[in-house]
Amino acid sequence: MQVHWEILMAQQLELHLDILAGLDAAVEDGIDIISISLVDASLPFHQDNIAIGSFSAIQKGIFVSCSAGNLGPSPGTLSNEAPWILTPKDSLSTLVPLVYPVSSGNSNSSLCREGSENGVDFKGKVVFCERGGGIARIAKGQAVKDAGGAAMILMNKEIDAFSTLADAHVLPAVHLSYASGLKIKSYINSSEQPLATISFKGTSIGDPLAPVVTSFSSRGPNLASPGILKPDIVGPGVNILAAWAFSLDDNTDPKLAFNVISGTSMSCPHLSGVAALLKSSHPSWSPAAIKSAMMTTADIFTTGAGHVNPSKANDPVKNVISIKFN
C-alpha cells in the first residue's frame, strides 16, 4: 500500500495550480492517503483549491488529512474546513542567583529584549523572562546570553496557558506554563536572594492536564461553511521529532536529518499515519469510514471529536446485535 505524498509550504498564489497538479498526480499514482500540511485563508469551497483537489481524491477512495493552521487561540482562525477532509489540531545542576529584570523599574524589561537589563546584572545568573513584545523566544535567550546570563526561565503569557515548546535555545533554558511562571514570580518577590537551577528530571507519564490543545492551534467556527463543525479531531503536534530536509549548501551533517517541530503541520501527518494503519487493517473501508472510526472513538475532549485513539479506531463497533422491525 502506498501511503502519502506530503505537499509542503506554498507561500505564493501562483503555486495553487501546482498544488492541484500535485493532488492530481497523487491520484494518478493510485495512493491511499494524502497528508497536506498547508493552510490558506478561509474561502468558499468552490474557490478553495485544496478543497477542490481533495474532493476529487475522496471520490477516488483516497483519504485526505489537512492541517487546521496555527493562528489560534482566537475563534474563526481555522483553515481547511471542507467536511470531506479530516482537519486535525495540534494536540534542565547548580543553584545560581535568579533575577527578574522588571526590578529595574522598567515594566518592559521583563520581556528580555536586547539591552533590557537596565542596570540589572545578568552575569552568571538565571534570568526570568516573559513571552511577548513581538520578540521570538530564542531571541530572548540570545539577549540574556549577550548580557552574560547563565540560563533563562521563560514564562508564558496567560493566553498561552500550558503550551510550552522545545526550542533550540542558545543557552540552558526552560519554558514554563503561565501557572508555573506565577509561582516562580511569587518566589522571587518573597525571597531576598532567590536561587534557581535547571535540571532534567526524566519524562513525566500520565499528566492529568494532557492532552491539551495548544494556544497557537487554529480554532473554529467554520467560516467557509458555518453549519459544518470543524476541526474534526486532536492529534500530537507539539515538540515532535520530525524528518528535516538537508540545506541547499550540500551540508551532509547527519545531525541535521531531524528537527523538533510544533504545529498542526505535525498533527496532520500523525492522523494520516493512523489513517494508513486503519486502511491496512481494513482495506475495504472508504475515506468516510476511516474518518468516522477515528472521530467516534477519540477520547472525549472539548475541541473536535477528541484526541485520536488508534487502538479504538481499529475496532470501532462493539456489541453488534440484530433488531427486527415490523
Read out DSSP for 279-307?
HHH-TT--HHHHHHHHHHTSBP-SSTT-B
Listed in order, the ranges of the chain carrying CATH 3.50.30.30 are 96-196
Instruction: Look at residue 247 in the predicted model and tell me its pLDDT.
Output: 59
Instruction: Look at residue 216 in the predicted model and tell me its pLDDT.
Output: 77
Instruction: Look at residue 300 in the predicted model and tell me its pLDDT.
Output: 67
Instruction: Look at residue 255 in the predicted model and tell me its pLDDT.
Output: 58
Instruction: Look at residue 287 in the predicted model and tell me its pLDDT.
Output: 92
Here the cell at position 205 is 507519564
Q: For the whole model, what pTM was predicted? A: 0.61
6-90+215-314 belongs to which CATH class?
Answer: alpha beta
Low-confidence ranges of the chain (pLDDT < 70): 1-16, 72, 89-94, 103-108, 116-118, 202, 246-256, 300-303, 326
223: Cβ contacts below 8 Å, ≥ 6 apart:
42, 76, 78, 81
Instruction: Look at residue 8 in the predicted model and tell me its pLDDT.
Output: 47
Amino acid identity for residue 259 in this structure:
N
Cα 129 from chain centroid (whole Å): 23
Exposure string for 156-193, b = 16+ CB within 10 A, e = fewer: beeebbbbbbebebebbbbbbbbebbeebbeebeeeee
Listed in order, the ranges of the chain carrying CATH 3.40.50.200 are 6-90+215-314
The conformation of residue 178, written as its DSSP 8-state character, comes to H
Instruction: Look at residue 118 in the predicted model and tell me its pLDDT.
Output: 67
> Quick one: CATH architecture of 96-196?
3-Layer(bba) Sandwich (3.50)
Query: Among candidates 2, 74, 6, which has minimal Cα distance to 34?
Result: 6
Per DSSP, the three-state class of 261 is strand
CA distance 8 to 242: 14
